[in-house]
Every structure is written in C-alpha cells, then in structure tokens.
Chain A
Amino acid sequence: MSARRVRRRLVSALMTGVVGALSLLAVLALVLILGHLAVKGATSLDWSFFTRNPVPVGESGGGVANAIVGTAIIVGLASLIGLPVGIGAGLYLAEFGSGRLGWIVRFVADVLNGTPSIVVGIFAWTWLVKPMGHFSALAGSVALAVLMVPMLARTTEEMVRLVPHSLREAALALGYPRWRTSLRIVARTALAGIVTGCLVGVARIAGETAPLLFTALGNLNFTTDLMQPMQALSLQIYQYATGPFEEWHRLAWAAAIVLMGLVLLLGVAARWAIRQRHGAAR
C-alpha cells in the first residue's frame, strides 16, 4: 500500500520534472535569441538608427528609417487586402460552409496554409512583377496578403464556431434575419478572437523575407511609392547580414532587434485582446 504510494509520488515527480525541463528548453530558444540580439545589436540602436536612411559603404552610421517605413507600408497594404478577404472567407466557412463549396474552400485554405512562402513569392513575381515590368511594394503586399488569407480564414472560422449555438438561436428567435445574426451577434461575439487572429497573422507576415525578395526587392533609398521597389526590415536584415562589411553586420543585428520588437509588440497586443475577451465572457 505505502510502497505503491511512494512509487506513485516518484513517478509523478519524475514526470513533472521532465515536462518542466522540456518547457524550459522551449523557452530557452527564445531567451537565447533575444539575448544574442541584445548583445550584438543593442549598442547600435540610437535615435539616428530610426530616423536616418542607409549611408553608402565606407561611411559609418546611418539607419533603417526607409526599411521601417517600408515594412509598415507593405504590411499595412497587405493587411488592407488580406484582412477583409480572410475574415470574410472565415465567416462564410463558419456560417454557410457545410456544403461542397465550403469543403473546397477549406481544403484550398489548408493547402495554401502549408505552401512555403517562397513559392507564393515566385507566383507573385509571375503574376505582378513580370507583367508590370518592375519590382514594386504593391507586388510584395499582394504576396504577403496571399500568405495571410488562409490563416485568417481558418482562425476566423474557429472563432466563429466557438460562439455558442444558443446565442445564434436567441437572435434568430427575436426575429433577426440570418445575415444580421451572423454580423451583429455571431461576428461581434467572436470579435476579440478574430482580432487576435488578425494580430497574429500580421505579426507572422511582418517577418516574411522570401516572398519579398521577388516582389518588393528592397531599396536603399526612402520611398513611399507603391509602384517602386521598397525596402523592408526583413529584406534589410537579409542584405546586410549576407553582405561583406562589418558595419552592415552590425546594422543587421540592430534591424533584427527592431523587427523582433515589432513582432513581440503585436504578440503582446494579441494577448491583451484575448484577455479582454475572457474578461467580457465573465
């Protein structure tokens, strides 16, 4: 009897130790990355890094203002294209997606979700860059939007499906037409979850590099022209990190910190949105 109890406690302690160690390992990766970034890049972070454009090789200093603005523009435009399409598709899947068309859309979304982002970049190049004759921020945004849509559609669908059926019935029984029930009750209730999904989606595409290589290309100058090649933080990091100059490597580390900070910020915002939802559910 007591031997069994001792054994049970031993096994329990052992298992707790194992899963604890594994989760530490998982966190360790993030801690190492952040630590390394901080050590390598933090010293290069100053005000001019955020406000100045890159300087020619040989001069020291310079910043990544063009890349920060470029990332904001490209990701912003991608969100503008991708969010309505993704959320709309998700609503459709959740509300009317039980038929054959729903099955097809869901299947395509899942396949697209697993498509390597570089493939999407090549397609954007074929469809947009080649016909237009030059690289552009617009093509980059479209490529990122394509990456974003399936993820958003599936997240939105999940969130909408989480809305209790009883709420839907309550609205219908009050005389709400079906479309108004979907928009005003179901979508509103799922809103916090959908917002979270959007933030996670935006955070994910903000760090994408491969699709931008074929589309936005990069630009050493400051531009807000959507029809021109545009710099993005991820591209800048790629170019600086693979370049031959020590100065560039330094700047790459600093740019990586900025990008990482941006993604973390979105992640924290997503967390906050989740908390709001659970607060509202109470």
Chain B
Amino acid sequence: MTTAGLTDGRTVGQPDRGRRPPVWPSDHSTPIIDVRAYNFWYGGTQALFDLTFTIPRRAVTALIGPSGCGKSTFLRSINRLNELIPRTRHTGDILLEGVSVFSSGTDPVTLRREVGMVFQQPNPFPKTIFDNVAYGPRLNGLAAERDMPERVEVALRRAALWDEVKDRLRTPGTSLSGGQQQRLCIARALANEPEVLLMDEPCSALDPAATQRIEELLVELKQSYSIVIVTHNMQQASRVSDFTGFFYLGCLIEFGDTKQVFTRPGDERTEAYITGRFG
C-alpha cells in the first residue's frame, strides 16, 4: 500500500462528497445511496463487514472482486431482495435519497419500484414482449392502458431494443436471443422509471457483441439513472464505470474513481486482483 495511493484515492469510509474536481456535473456530488456501517449475515455466517461508502448519482458504479465476496449480496441489500431468504439479518443502514431503505416507513414493494434490477441470467416472463415491459407500469398504475404502447416504446428505445422488436411485440419474450432478452429485462426495469438500476453481472451470459450493446447502453443510461453494476470482467468495469469499488471477503477494500482505482490502486490487494494475481 503506497501513501500516494492513499492520498489520491477515496478509501474506505470516506464519503466522496466534495472530493470530485468541479468538471463533474454538480449532482454527482450528492450521493444517491449512502451506506453506513452495514453488516450482513446469512444465518451464522457474516457475508458483509462494516461497509461504509456512498454511491454517486447519475454515474455508473462498478463493484468488482472475486466470487463469493459479497458484491451480489450487497446489491440485493439495496432493494431488500435478501429479506426473502430465511434467517438473514443485518446491522447498519443503507440510505436511498437520504431515507433508510430499512426504516419502518419504507415499504419494500415501493422501494423495489424505485430501484430496478437486472439479473445475471436474462429472465423475461413467459409472456409477450409488450406485456413483459408493460408489467411494471401496469402494476404500479404508472400509465393508463391507452398510454401503454407509448410507454413500452420509450422503454424499449432506451434499452436499444425497439428497432429489433417493433414488428413483433406480440411474440413471446422468451423467443428472443440471449442478448435481446437481457435488453428486454433492462427495458422492463426502465419502464418502472426507477431512480437506481442495479445490475448483477448483466453480461455474464452474453456473447461479446451483445455485451458491447449493453455496455454502450449503460453509458447512455447514466444520463438519467444511477447505475450500480456487479461484474467479474475487469475490462468491463474500466470501460463503463465512473467509480469502482473493490470487494474482498465481504469487505470494501477500496472505493474511488475508476481510472484511479485501475491505474493507481491504493491497496495492494486491489492491485493484485486487477492485475490478475488472484481471483
């Protein structure tokens, strides 16, 4: 661990507020998600240790680290999907827009409408493409049925899928290719107009061409959404993300500007992982 890395890098526990040079849009500086001393257990096994960091608004934040180090667990803590697993518990807090996602006033169902999620395997519903996208808005009463076609089109366009499916909206979503299915799942999440988009290794089941489409998409989407992406692909993290967090054995070892984490990591474990010496 070098002192230079420590001075330059945002290390564990320090909020990034005010540390960004002014070249960024001002809303970068107010974080969308604020994690405070968050611990998480599966039964008797602690999976996350004392996470404290903030996730910037309207940016892509990549979480990297070896398998089983808690990246997905953390991601699923944000929309409280972990709660559905029996015998899990947590301490500490995660704030979305300044409000605790665990507070009694936060309904997990409402929370999940504001925090969209895209999973590792494309998981479209066995329904038509149109219905897949319209599902969220219908449930949440976001649009009248007559406005639905427009809303579906907007979501599909944002997910860069519209041109490929506009003539077959009534065919099953499962008939699409893997990459298309994943973009359909992104469109489905976007149709809910979430604040945050969580992506759990969205490209791991896709071929390079489809991966590239999704990556290009992420860069566009960050204009309007705050995106947190878990990835095992270091190149992907360095290509698409603005900020990177390195998880190791349930701890956040390092969090900072992607360029800086990848070129001048502040922790030797980060460096070892990035350069492929373990993982």
Closest chain-A Cβ to B228's Cβ sits at a distance in Å of: 13
Provide the bound-state CA to CA distance between A175 and B110, in Å: 6
Provide the bound-state CA to CA distance between A281 and B192, in Å: 26
Closest chain-A Cβ to B44's Cβ sits at a distance in Å of: 18
Cβ of A100 < 8 Å from any Cβ of B?
no
Q: Is the CB of A173 within 8 A of B125?
A: no
Q: Is the CB of B123 within 8 A of A281?
A: no
Q: Is the CB of A175 within 8 A of B113?
A: yes
Q: Is the CB of A170 within 8 A of B125?
A: yes
Closest chain-B Cβ to A135's Cβ sits at a distance in Å of: 47
For A164, give the chain B residue with the smallest CB separation: B123
Q: Is the CB of A167 within 8 A of B125?
A: yes
- For B185, the chain A residues whose CB sits under 8 A away are 170
Provide the bound-state CA to CA distance between A142 and B109, in Å: 41
For A165, give the chain B residue with the smallest CB separation: B123
Provide the bound-state CA to CA distance between A280 and B126, in Å: 7
Provide the bound-state CA to CA distance between A2 and B123, in Å: 50
- For B123, the chain A residues whose CB sits under 8 A away are 164, 166-167, 169-170
Interface size band for A: 20 to 34
Q: Is the CB of B172 within 8 A of A176?
A: no
Interface string of A134-170 (1 = CB under 8 A from B): 0000000000000000000000000000001011011
Q: Is the CB of B175 within 8 A of A282?
A: yes
Cβ of B272 < 8 Å from any Cβ of A?
no
Provide the bound-state CA to CA distance between A254 and B84, in Å: 56
Q: Which of B111-144 contact A (CB under 8 A)?
A: 111-113, 116-117, 119, 121, 123-126, 135-136, 139-140
Q: Which of B132-180 contact A (CB under 8 A)?
A: 135-136, 139-140, 172, 174-175
Cβ of B54 < 8 Å from any Cβ of A?
no
Interface residue tally for chain B (C-beta within 8 Å): 28
Cβ of B86 < 8 Å from any Cβ of A?
yes
Query: Pick the contact of A175 from B112, B172, B174, B175 — CB < 8 Å?
Result: B112
Interface string of A109-136 (1 = CB under 8 A from B): 0000000000000000000000000000
Provide the bound-state CA to CA distance between A166 and B124, in Å: 9
Cβ of B188 < 8 Å from any Cβ of A?
yes
Q: Is the CB of B175 within 8 A of A173?
A: no
Provide the bound-state CA to CA distance between A69 and B222, in Å: 66
For B79, give the chain A residue with the smallest CB separation: A173
Interfacial residues, chain A to chain B (CB-CB below 8 A): 98, 164, 166-167, 169-178, 180, 185, 188-189, 280-282
Provide a sorted-by-A list of 11 A–B residue pairs whose CB atoms are within 8 angstroms. Answer: A166-B123, A170-B123, A170-B188, A171-B135, A173-B79, A174-B188, A176-B139, A180-B139, A189-B126, A280-B126, A280-B172
Interfacial residues, chain B to chain A (CB-CB below 8 A): 79, 81, 84, 86, 109-113, 116-117, 119, 121, 123-126, 135-136, 139-140, 172, 174-175, 185, 188-189, 192
Q: A169-B119, A169-B123 are in contact. List 16 more A-B contacts (CB 8 A).
A: A98-B86, A164-B123, A167-B123, A170-B188, A173-B189, A174-B116, A174-B135, A174-B192, A175-B109, A175-B111, A175-B136, A175-B139, A176-B139, A178-B84, A280-B174, A281-B174
